[in-house]
């Protein structure tokens, strides 16, 4: 007895194969996303360990006597004013808008020296903003 591939059986095999392609693509993308997420977690853990090691070697950094200066000199000391609410660590800067008047801005006027021999553009534009704030015992920084 011989097995025949009728047109119905051929269409069934072809349609099952065509339905399997998107499913296999979805599984591949899902596994790739999991792999990338695990890699990013490992990178963040390594960075946190490096920062923790650097801070662990300087125990006097967070002493209560050295935490607050009696007098703050503008331009030389970095003052962290108290903020009224915690900042969400989501990468957005919307939480800093309430205290936007305290943000320090730096532009090309503050550049001390430029090396025009190594730069493609002899007049580079450099600008950035930064802000530091305290909420309870937490210190937040925005760049």
d(CA 106, CA 131): 11
DSSP 138: E
For residue 86, the Cα-to-chain-centroid distance in whole angstroms is 18
Burial of 68 (0-12, 13-18, 19+ CB in 10 A): exposed
For residues 103-112, average pLDDT: 70
d(CA 135, CA 141): 11
Q: Where are the domains of the chain?
A: 1-67, 68-143
CB within 8 Å of 66: residues ≥ 6 apart? 60
d(CA 45, CA 88): 20
Q: How confident is the model at residue 138 (pLDDT cuts 50, 70, 90)?
A: confident
* More confident site: 39 or 104: 39
d(CA 30, CA 79): 46
State pTM to two decimals.
0.39
For residue 82, the Cα-to-chain-centroid distance in whole angstroms is 24
What's the pLDDT score for residue 5? 81
**Cβ neighbours of 133 (radius 10 Å):** 22
Q: To the nearest whole number, what is the mean pLDDT of the chain?
A: 80
């Amino acid at each position: 007895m011989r097995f025949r591939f009728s047109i119905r059986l051929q269409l069934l095999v072809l349609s099952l194969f065509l339905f399997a392609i998107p499913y296999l693509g979805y599984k591949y993308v899902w596994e790739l996303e999991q792999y990338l997420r695990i890699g990013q977690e490992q990178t963040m853990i390594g960075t946190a360990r490096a920062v923790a090691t650097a801070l662990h070697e300087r125990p006097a950094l967070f002493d209560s006597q050295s935490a607050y200066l009696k007098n703050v000199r503008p331009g030389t000391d970095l003052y962290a004013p108290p903020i009224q609410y915690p900042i969400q660590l989501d990468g957005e800067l919307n939480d800093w808008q309430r205290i936007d008047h305290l943000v320090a801005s730096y532009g090309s006027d503050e550049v001390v020296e430029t090396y025009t021999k190594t730069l493609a553009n002899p007049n580079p534009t450099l600008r950035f903003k930064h802000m530091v704030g305290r909420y309870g015992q937490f210190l937040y920084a925005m760049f």
